[in-house]
Amino acid sequence: ELISRACIPGILNKAYDHTGTNSLNLCELCTGGNADRCRRDNLELYYGDAGAFRCLIEGADIAFARHTTVHTNTGGRNPNFWARDLREDNYELLCPDGRRAEVHDWITCNLGKISSNVVVTANYKSENERTNMWRLLQYGQEYYSSDSDPVFQMFNSEFGQKDLIFNDDTESLSLIPWENQTYEAWLGQRFIQMVENLQVISNRYENGLYNSGILKIHQSIIHYIIKWILTMIICVYYCLICL
């Protein structure tokens, strides 16, 4: 099989598996305890950026992650026990053209670019309402974005968790100009075209044009990716795939 085991947090949720046909092996590598296994949140140990990398370390062959993930979890930068003594030069990138590259060569070896995570609101909110929301966030980061406050840090999850409010790698928030405050403008035409192409492929699977065992796994993943992309537009965080 193309994929024998994987951990794709949330792949068995009804929101992403509305027909109940997604393969159980897509959660087989997940390690959350009991009901927490394969959940699409931090209760699943392999959820998120660091979780996907941890999955790679503890038994997977490939992890899909952002370009900063290896760097931020090696060389002592991640104090968690599973990341101790990890070296950046022990990992490499798999490029679309079949070659391999060092992790710092991500500019020329990557699977594509996506826009940064954003905080979003309903599109019927007025410019004045959005400005007030931004001011609240701006005041928050002025007082709580650094480690100077002993009680609360806006970009630090603590409590043994990751990316609870914002991504822990966040350094600051920036205001998006009013004219770019639509998902089309933010994501860009190339990204939207990729989503539309995936939807066409997914529809072919649904219509029964492909039905082999291996392609059924593809179908599960494609459905999940489409749902993930759409969810990413309305969520601060997102889930990564660990194979």
Q: Which of 137, 144, 90 is nearest to 118 (CA)?
A: 137
Report pLDDT for 168: 78
- Residue 235 CA to residue 13 CA, distance in Å, equals 17
* 10, 239 contact by CB (below 8 A): yes
Residue type, 166: F
- The full set of domain ranges for the chain reads 24-64+186-234, 127-175
Residue type, 232: M
- The β-bridge partners of 101 are 93
Contact residues for 64 (Cβ-Cβ < 8 A; gap 6+) = 52, 111, 240, 241, 242, 243
Report pLDDT for 111: 83
Report pLDDT for 204: 65
Report pLDDT for 29: 93
**Sign, Cα dihedral of 82, 87, 88, 91:** negative
- Residue 83 CA to residue 72 CA, distance in Å, equals 10
| Entry pTM | 0.69
In the chain (243 residues long), the average pLDDT of successive 10-residue segments reads: 80 85 89 86 89 93 91 92 94 93 94 82 89 92 75 77 77 88 84 79 60 49 51 34 37
Residue 199 is classified by DSSP as: H
CA angle 5, 73, 168 (to 5 degrees): 100
Q: How far is CA 125 from CA 17, 19, 107, 180, 230, in A?
A: 32, 35, 37, 14, 20
CA angle 87, 117, 146 (to 5 degrees): 70
